Copies of this chain bind each other. A is one copy, B any other.
Amino acid sequence: MRQAILSLEESKIREVANAGMGRSDVLPFWFGESDEVTPESVRAAGIASLQAGETFYAHNLGLPELRAAVASYTSRLHGDVLAERIGITSGGVNALIVAMQALIDAGDRVVVVTPVWPNLTAQPRILGADLHCEALEPDADGAWQLDLPRLLAAITRGTKLLVLNSPNNPTGWTLSKAEQESILTRCRETGTWILSDEVYERLYYRGDTASGAAPSFLDIAEPEDRLVVVQSFSKAFLMTGWRLGYLVMPPDMTPQVGKLLEFNTSCAPVFVQRGGLAALAQTESITPRVVTHLRRCRDTLVPLLQAHSGVHTSAAPGGMYAFLRIDGHGDSLQLAKRLVVEAGLGLAPGIAFAPESERWLRWCFASKDVARLGQGVERLANWLARHG
On A, residues with C-beta under 8 Å from B are: 1-2, 4-6, 8, 10-11, 31, 33, 35, 37-38, 43, 46-47, 50-51, 53-58, 90-91, 93-94, 97, 101-107, 119, 122-123, 126, 128, 238-243, 253, 255-256, 258-260, 262-272
Contact = CB atoms under 8 A, between A and B. Distances in A.
Question: Which 4 A-B pairs have CB atoms at the shortest separation, nearest pair first?
Answer: A106-B106, A37-B53, A38-B55, A55-B241
Nearest to A89: B265
Contacts of A123: 263
Contact of A1 (B253, B267, B272): B253
Contacts of A8: 256, 259, 263
Copies in the complex: 2
Contact of A126 (B37, B53, B94, B263): B263
Residue among A107, A119, A265, A267 with the highest chain B CB neighbour number at 10 A: A265
Contacts of A50: 43, 46-47, 50
29 contacts: A2-B105, A4-B105, A5-B102, A8-B259, A31-B57, A33-B57, A37-B55, A38-B53, A43-B53, A47-B51, A55-B242, A56-B240, A58-B241, A90-B265, A91-B266, A93-B263, A93-B264, A93-B265, A105-B128, A106-B107, A106-B128, A119-B262, A122-B263, A126-B263, A241-B267, A241-B269, A242-B269, A243-B265, A269-B272
